[in-house]
Amino acid sequence: MNQSPTGPADLDLSGIRGWLFDLDGVLTPTALVHMHAWSRLFTPILAEHKKAPYTDADYFAYIDGKPRYDGVRSLLESRDIHLPEGDVSDGPDEDTVHGLGNRKNEAFNATLAEEGVAAYPASIAFLDAVQAAGCLVAVVSSSKNAPGVLEAAGIADRFTVVVDGVVAAREGIPGKPAPDTYERGAALLGLPTTACAVVEDAESGVQAGAAGDFGLVVGVDRGVGRDALLKHGADVVVDELDELIPAVRRAAETSRALETSAETPKETA
């Protein structure tokens, strides 16, 4: 993995041909919708069990970036609450791990339908830059709502490869913090992992990138904190993805110059 000598704009991205993006919190601000939905779910549950109140810190520590039911398990374990696993078909009114996960999903989808979502402008500018540079792109998300979010944000046509919670469940792929979903994304792009960059805002997602043999792991600080993202394996941390655009353009210019040089016939004496 590469390390930034002074900042994001100075990265050497010459070997990166694919960009693997997390969705919530990286391309779209749906992480906020998720945070509100989780809070609405767990605030009354923790009060009922007479446990410490739910906070945003719980979201970042136990839920962020993980598959939905894993997030439920992790938060319940943090409060020493034990509920039956249940089944994915459990209704949202059932007090099982799967029932709570489905209850949270109902709240998320209702909020998304009511409020909609718009992609981060800086992330769209970066996406424009990497695609203009000829790089391939994919979305790798733990959420089973990824296609709907991409449609709502108007960027679904940008991604022919989407590895989400539905794909992971269907193919039996371990979720983040394991690197497998990102590795699957790279494979579907037809690229080795070493030629791909992982872009994440969650601790578990950064850990997933660090656990795989990827060319670069970019952390986007949406609240986790720069130090935490670096600690969990990010090579570079940005506040907004457009900070990387100069490095992307420089790599593209270098690549074009090398191609032109290779195509130019050498003069013979």
Q: Is 32 left (phi over 0), alpha (psi -120 to 50) or beta?
A: alpha
In the sheet that 216-220 helps form, which strands lie side by side, from edge to edge?
A: 162-163, 136-140, 18-21, 196-200, 216-220, 236-238
Secondary structure of residue 90 in the 3-state scheme: coil
pLDDT in tens, the chain (269 residues): 544 445 899 999 999 999 999 999 999 998 788 888 899 999 999 999 999 999 999 999 999 888 899 999 999 999 999 999 999 999 999 999 999 999 998 988 887 887 788 999 999 999 999 999 999 999 999 988 899 899 989 999 999 999 999 999 999 999 999 999 999 999 999 999 999 999 999 999 999 999 999 999 999 999 899 999 999 999 999 999 999 999 999 999 988 777 776 666 665 54
As given in the structure block, the two tokens for residue 223 are 């609240």
Q: Which amino acid is at 257?
A: A
Tell me if residue 24 is catalytic. Answer: yes
Could you please report the per-residue DSSP string of 40-56?
A: HHHHHHHHHTT-PPP-H
Tell me if residue 22 is catalytic. Answer: yes
Question: Of residues 10, 12, 24, 164, which has the active-site annotation?
Answer: 24
pTM of the model: 0.79
The answer to whether the CB of 217 falls within 8 A of the CB of 200 is: yes
